[in-house]
Amino acid sequence: MNQVFEILGFLLIVLTLIMQWEINVQRIIFLFAASSFIIALFLVLLGLSRPQEEYMLFILAGLTIAVRGITIPVVMNKALHRLYEKPWRVREDKPMLGVGGSILLSLVLIAIGYFIYQNSLYSILKVRSGSVPFALFLQASLLIITHKHAYIQMIGFLVMENAVVMLSGWVFGGLPFIVEAGVILDLLGLVVVSSLIIRVRERTILQEGISSEAELRG
**Residue 111 binds another protein (CB under 8 A):** yes
Mark the segment that binds another protein (CB under 8 A) among 40-48, 55-63, 128-136, 192-200: 128-136
**Residue from 78, 82, 89, 128 that binds another protein (CB under 8 A)?**
128
**Residue 121 binds another protein (CB under 8 A):** no
Closest to 198 in 3D by CA, of 154, 161, 145? 154
User: How close are the terminal C-alpha atoms of the chain, in Å?
Assistant: 53
**Residue 125 binds another protein (CB under 8 A):** no
List 24's β-bridge partners, or say none. 91
Three-state SS string over 198-211 comes to HHHHHHHHHHHCCC
**Residue from 10, 30, 58, 84 that binds another protein (CB under 8 A)?**
10
Mark the segment that binds another protein (CB under 8 A) among 1-9, 55-63, 83-91, 172-180: 1-9
**Residue from 15, 110, 154, 159 that binds another protein (CB under 8 A)?**
110
State the Cα–Cα distance between residues 119 and 152, nearest whole angstrom: 32
**Residue from 48, 82, 96, 100 that binds another protein (CB under 8 A)?**
100
Q: Assign residue 173 a region: left if phi > 0, alpha if psi is -120 to 50, beta otherwise?
A: left
| CB 46, min distance to another protein, A | 18
Helix (H) and strand (E) counts in the chain: 10, 0
State the Cα–Cα distance between residues 124 and 130, nearest whole angstrom: 11
**Residue from 48, 74, 96, 99 that binds another protein (CB under 8 A)?**
99
State the Cα–Cα distance between residues 52 and 118, nearest whole angstrom: 29
| CB 115, min distance to another protein, A | 10
List 91's β-bridge partners, or say none. 24
Taking the least distance from each CB to another protein, the nearer of 58 and 114 is: 114
- The Cβ of residue 65 has, within 10 Å, a number of other Cβ atoms equal to 19
**Residue 14 binds another protein (CB under 8 A):** yes
Per DSSP, the three-state class of 133 is helix
**Residue 66 binds another protein (CB under 8 A):** no
Q: What is the largest CA-CA distance in the chain?
A: 58
**Residue 122 binds another protein (CB under 8 A):** no
User: Can you give the binding site for another protein, defined by CB under 8 A?
Assistant: 3, 6-7, 10, 13-14, 17-18, 21, 98-100, 103-104, 106-107, 110-111, 114, 128-129, 131-132
